[in-house]
Homo-oligomer: A and B are copies of this chain.
């Protein structure tokens, strides 16, 4: 049956968002209608409030700082010459939560299912190279500048492996060392249920 236009529009708009289907969107529409105008206004305000958030000029993470850099990029205690290339902002959040990485990040954007980089992603890589050249290059400019280490923080999937090899080839001249996140058994997992690939990596990297 046809719902009033504003509801259809809301459902269509919400269904565009990732991981939200029309069913959940419809449920949310009725929930909002039930909770009343104030709640709808607050949600609208929360959305428009996000317009003041900007991408970091160095790593593309979010920030609201004056100088164009995010909290991580402008933190003098973080190693600027150890750079982890990742896909998404939420990957950054998970990695930061571990509290084990003291370098900085570079967000490349979500990689297509083919594993091949899109044009805008190639431009981002270009920007990373320029940054490395400018920041770590010798004043004479005669030799290739190199970051201490570039970590490829891509998912341990075949797509992730493929794009990691592409990106590694691109960045190879720009880092003394290129690494990937370690593979093995996830903590709390059980050997009995681990797949062959994971067990293979766990054996290979035992120690």
Contacts and interface: CB of A to CB of B under 8 A. Distances in A.
Interface of A: 1-7, 9-10, 13-14, 17-20, 24, 26-34, 37, 40-44, 46-53, 55, 62-64, 71, 88-90, 93, 96-97, 109
A109 B35 CA distance: 12
Contacts of A5: 49, 64
Contact of A49 (B9, B48, B49, B52): B9
Given A2-B71, A33-B50, 17 more contacts: A1-B71, A1-B93, A4-B53, A4-B62, A4-B63, A6-B50, A9-B49, A18-B31, A20-B28, A26-B90, A27-B90, A33-B62, A33-B89, A37-B51, A40-B47, A40-B51, A43-B47
A32 B19 contact: no
When all copies of this chain in the complex are counted, the total is 2
Nearest to A97: B1
Contact of A53 (B33, B49, B96): B33
A53 B71 CA distance: 42
B37 A28 contact: no
A-side binding surface: helix, strand, loop or mixed?
helix
Nearest to A64: B4
Nearest to A10: B46
B46 A9 contact: yes
Contacts of A17: 28, 31-32
A148 to B, nearest CB: 23
A53 B26 CA distance: 14
A41 B46 contact: no
12 contacts: A4-B53, A4-B62, A4-B64, A5-B64, A6-B46, A6-B64, A7-B53, A30-B88, A30-B89, A33-B55, A37-B51, A47-B47
A201 to B, nearest CB: 26
B29 A50 contact: yes
A68 to B, nearest CB: 14
